[in-house]
Structure 1
Amino acid sequence: MKKGLIQGIAGVGLLVLLPSCNTQKQTTGNDVYAIARTTQSGPGQDEETEIQSEQLSRNIVVPQLQIDALSVYKRMITYITPEEETAPVVSEEKLTAYVDFPANGIQVNPKYGNNSAVLTKLGERLGSLMQSADGNVRNIRIMGYASPDGNTKENDRLAGNRAIQFKNYLQKQFKLPATCQVSVDWAGEDWEGLKRLLVASDKKYASQVLAIFQLTDDPDSRRKQIKAMDKGTVYKDIEKSFFSRLRRMELTVEMELPVAAADNSRLIEQVYAQPEKLSLPELLRVASFYRPGTEQYREVYEIAAYTYPSCTVAQLNAAAAALALGDKESARYFLQQVNGDLRSYNNLGVLSLMDGDKESAIAYFRKYMSQNPRLARENLKIVYGEN
């Protein structure tokens, strides 16, 4: 019986546990036996009492051996800290400013055209975003666009210079945080924007203009053919109806948002109510609220592993959590999903040890040495009985 118990726990590698466990067995067994002998009398009863005492002693020792072995395995298991779990919560908002410029002008003039209203509205929204993000506006990307009239090369130059001057205006007027990076790019003539506007319009000539778009990508050829339509009236209407909506600055404001406690509570509730509606980063964030090895940690990572089977971290941590709770078959399943991943070798070694396969456990721990030398060495010591 004793030999069978030892092999079932961890093979030779966990013999170090046996002295304390065996001592408890002996102490418990002797106490029961002593009580039994003092309470039993009569000829022929001593032998029967001794047999009953041994059986009771075995029933007491087996759970203790299992508990001690599992506590050792828990020390040997490794968990992965996903990048998504520690990354800040980032939000983006896109803003559009239709800034008016005089012909060939590049300076932002708040008093020109409709700029006063446009820039005031933009400033109010930027201020609101900076306040809601506690000033953590990380990046503003500016993209400058021009309408496709005139000369393509000149339009590209104007779009670039106007975007640069718009950046300078933003930094000066809106008191952006020192940590905020402002980047600039420009697309030049926005033919794709014009195409979208034509598709959404009810202009009778829209299909004919779109057919020209299909025939050629050359901007000069397009302009020439459109200007030739209906003696120039089509081009003039396009210029009047659409060009002002193509001359614009598009801003992408990227913010690092604080995570409210109420939001965390909502996520925790949703994990059990509607887990399919949570993104992978949200599931991993919920998992970070629990201590590795707990039942809650396991539940969240199992949901993540089944919902997002391509996430290696979810599979690895679901396997680790199953091992910590003594569920070998679940751990085996999740580890099979990440076959060959170097980070899985340590827990494969623990699983092998739980199966009583000492040689495979040693091989896995040695393979894991390149990932975490300290833990690999500690686990090898346990296998060799040096702890």
Structure 2
Amino acid sequence: MKTGGTFIIAAILSLSLQAQTPVAGDDGTVRATSSSLHKAGKELLVSIGIEVTRDFLPNESMTLIPVVSDSLEHRLELPPIYINSRKQHIIFLREAGKKEKEAEALQRKNGSRQTMHYLQSVPFESWMNHATLSLVEKSCGCGIPGEENFTCIARLHPQPTPIPQLVFLTPQVETSKIREEKGCAFIDFPVNVTAIYETYSNNTVELNKIIETINTIKNDTNVTITHISIHGYASPDGPYRLNEKLARERTQSVKEYVNQLYAFDGAHIRTDYTPEDWEGFEALLCDTTFQEKEAIIKTITSDIHPDSKERKLKKHFPAFYAFVLKHWFTLLRHSDYTIEYRVRPFTLAESRKVFTTNPKNLSLEEMFRLALASTPGSETYNQIFMTAVQLFPDNPTANLNAACIALMQRDVQTAATYLEKAPEVPETILAKGVLCFLKNNYEEAEYLFRQAQKAGLSQADNNLQLVLELK
């Protein structure tokens, strides 16, 4: 063992005093005034400050044994601390002191306040990452060790291990920021009619959906509408040929309605149609429970002609068909629309404002620059990266950077999810190493950090040092 105070290095494991329970007498106490554990390289340093104000009887002696332990079965007793009356101290120096050269001893001088500093180091073992420090008291009045008193004078709990270094990935510049808004309008038509009646059924509300979406985009001076797409659907009831005509002409009516309201500079409206929305029918069916659900799904997904599907449903599932005719088919007559637009680039100052009003208009690279202008680890910094992955959920760079934020917050579960979509680059290898590190899988963490190190990431050097000191 080593003693002394010559260890001047950055502590990787640091623990702070949680409680001090003094050993009290009628006229004073014996207590730990300060205690700490530090991992210094391959050593664990134990430091304890002791204050004595209690007077001792002539034959009285107290032994305090520092104990390092974890919540499992590991327990390590360190060289003891002796506090002796004058008579007992003479006995200690003559007998015990020669055998226990690393023990610390104090001769009590009654009527005064005395302090002593205890410092020991022991080889570090992996279980000590979660170690606590306690003092076990043994006391007697005759120089002969008495029964152990396990009253804990000082107990220490570890602070979290530092997060290894991470590297965020810079997104590519988006040369042309193309965005889109989508919606669905359930415009109702009288039977076999293809013209739009604005006041018919709930058409005023449904047509306003399209108008409000277009207006929101047109009123944004930062964007330019490039084109609009309208896709009309008819329901599966009735002859397929008639439904094809209705879907085509009703979609054209929606296009003409929009063209009457707006003049788009350079933009055009594209249309498409689906005569019968069997896919929508299947989706509704999958979300519900019917007694013959599997047989119905088999029918509607078969390759037979749509009119034959309808006839089989009427014949074999009449109650079901009557239900969907009344409740579902109106939902399968809809017009889906997409407004595509181009967004101009923004300066850093502009990006800050746009992020609070309409972050969708920012590119991933613009949000990255905005994050770099914030304090790392701050609420704003984290929010920008997490907003980026929400707006670009399938972008590998956004997922890697979001994983880094989650790792900085020790959220290993969320980080693992984002890393599944991260790109195959050294920065991802480094982040996966940090994930293993936080899960206490040091062997895998070391392997990944070495891979990142070979790829040229200098941050891996620091991370390897952390792992090697904890193994």
Q: Could you say which TM-score interval applies, normalised by the shorter chain? A: 0.3 to 0.5
Bigger-Rg structure (1/2) = 2
Bigger proportion of residues as helix: 1
> How high is the TM-score relative to the length of structure 2?
0.39
Bigger proportion of residues as strand: 2
> How high is the TM-score relative to the length of structure 1?
0.47
